[in-house]
Amino acid sequence: MKKYFLFMATFLTIGILSACSSDEADNTESSDKETTITVSADEEAIASAKAAFQQIGEVPVPEDNPITDEKVELGKRLFFDSRLSGNNIQSCSSCHQPQAGYGDNLATFIGFEGFKGHRNSPTIINSAYYSENFWDGRASSLEEQAQGPITAEGEMNQDLDGLVEELKAVPEYVTDFQTVFGEEISTNNILKAIATFERKIVIKDTAFDKYLAGDDTAIADVAKEGMLLYNGKASCIVCHTTPTLSDGKYYNLGIEGDEGRYAVTNNEADKGTFRTASLRGVTHTGPYMHDGSLATLKDVVEFYNEGGGADANKSNLIQPLGLTDKEIDQLVAFLETLGGEVPQVEAPKAY
């Protein structure tokens, strides 16, 4: 069934009206009249769904930590430096590997001297857009987030004062910090440099972004059908919204065994809740969920389709979706358009 819409010719970018020759002009209606064109119901739905999305903007940068090329390079060097761990074995890149989507592709992280963590290493891709970091939102900035793993006993187990002294013993670091910050090495500036590097790990030019920008061929028809489901029957857009495809809020998906944000707020309503993950770059960051319990994007869609887990505090938003097998595949196809290219960096030669 087709629907009909009226468009003013002045808004058309192609010649819908016939380009008549001058001697035919007298027999042709004036081009400033309304012109009727046909649009299929599917095209209308796709246009409506597409309009619900926005391309992602520039990374927010705190006033007290502006980005400079030299600071990015210093932050990268620190990110890969094993001096940041108490045994000089692990670095930030141990759990946030560029070739693994700035995660580690493990269900849960392995920390200091083999410590087995209970949460998945969250990617740092697009982490600069979050107002709160970690699965439970306990860090209010990337600078604060950078400190967490360095000092956590189960992760890197480093003493910050000891780290400063270690770095001061390296002449090249002394020079670098003086060049970048105009002062000697300090904990504050270590964290600022690492956060600055992380703000450059961004994916915002995915196939879907190209589609939003006007390239109708950037994603396949099956992915467009998946977009309709994302924006409709599957209700993904309720939480995976805003340009980052995350509302930044916290939900209990029914996965038992972790108090989640409750450990931060002591609010009963927060028991078992975790922050909505951003979806740009999602094809690179499996396994998925805060506990890494779902290996593939299809597993994730099927999990939601079945109504999530069984935790007593599960959000009322998590309900069975009733997707068919075909619709599951369509939704997965759409999610795969959000992958993009991971910014790859090489570890600097160690000082």
Q: Residue 237: which CATH number?
A: 1.10.760.10
214 and 95 co-located in one domain? no
Assess if residue 185 is contained within a domain: yes
188 and 228 co-located in one domain? no
Hey, what are 40's tokens? 């299929």
190 and 232 co-located in one domain? no
136 and 191 co-located in one domain? yes
Domain boundary, last residue among 152, 179, 198: 198
CB atoms within 10 A of CB 112: 19
Assess if residue 350 is contained within a domain: no
> Tokens 């493990």 label which residue?
106
189 and 141 co-located in one domain? yes
DSSP H or E segment with residue 228: helix 221-231
What is the pTM assigned to this prediction? 0.87
Mean pLDDT of 241-264: 97
The SS3 call for residue 156 is coil
Q: What is the DSSP string of 190-227?
A: HHHHHHHHHTT------HHHHHHTT-TTSS-HHHHHHH
Domain boundary, last residue among 175, 198, 221: 198
Q: Would you call 302 a catalytic residue per the annotation? A: no
Hey, what are 112's tokens? 């200091």
Question: What span, in angstroms and rounded, lies between the C-alpha atoms of 244 and 248?
Answer: 9
The SS3 call for residue 298 is helix
Cβ proximity of 195 and 146 under 8 Å: yes
Q: Determine the pLDDT at residue 257.
A: 96
Assess if residue 347 is contained within a domain: no
Q: How confident is the model at residue 42 (pLDDT cuts 50, 70, 90)?
A: confident
Assess if residue 64 is contained within a domain: no
Choosing from 24, 143, 144, 155, which is the catalytic residue? 155
Assess if residue 99 is contained within a domain: yes
Q: How confident is the model at residue 342 (pLDDT cuts 50, 70, 90)?
A: very high
Mean pLDDT of 10-32: 37
209 and 328 co-located in one domain? yes
**The 3-state secondary structure of 80-99, one letter per residue:** CCHHHCCCCCCCHHHHCEHH
Q: Which domain holds residue 151?
A: 69-198
- What is the longest distance spanned by two Cα atoms in the chain? 88
Assess if residue 223 is contained within a domain: yes
Assess if residue 101 is contained within a domain: yes
Cβ proximity of 264 and 232 under 8 Å: no
Q: Determine the pLDDT at residue 40.
A: 59
186 and 89 co-located in one domain? yes
Q: How confident is the model at residue 3 (pLDDT cuts 50, 70, 90)?
A: very low
Cβ proximity of 156 and 150 under 8 Å: yes
Hey, what are 137's tokens? 């939102």
The SS3 call for residue 246 is coil
Q: Going by C-beta distance under 8 Å and a sequence separation of 6 or more, which residues neighbour residue 92? A: 78, 79, 80, 84, 146, 149, 150, 194
8 and 101 co-located in one domain? no
146 and 30 co-located in one domain? no
Question: What span, in angstroms and rounded, lies between the C-alpha atoms of 328 and 324?
Answer: 6
Tally the C-alpha atoms within 13 A of residue 264's C-alpha that lie toward its C-beta. 17
Cβ proximity of 102 and 142 under 8 Å: no
173 and 103 co-located in one domain? yes
Assess if residue 146 is contained within a domain: yes
Domain boundary, last residue among 198, 216, 237: 198
Buried-state track 173-199, b at ≥16 Cβ within 10 A, e below 16: beebbeebbeeebeeebbbbbbbbbbb
Residue 321, amino acid: L
Mean pLDDT estimate for the chain: 90
Q: Determine the pLDDT at residue 41.
A: 62
DSSP H or E segment with residue 147: helix 142-151
221 and 178 co-located in one domain? no
Of all residues in the chain, what percent carry a pLDDT higher than 70? 88
Q: How many domains does the chain have?
A: 3
73, with CB counted inside 10 A (0-12, 13-18, 19+), is middle
164 and 88 co-located in one domain? yes
Residue 34, amino acid: E
Q: Which residues share a beta bridge with 131?
A: none
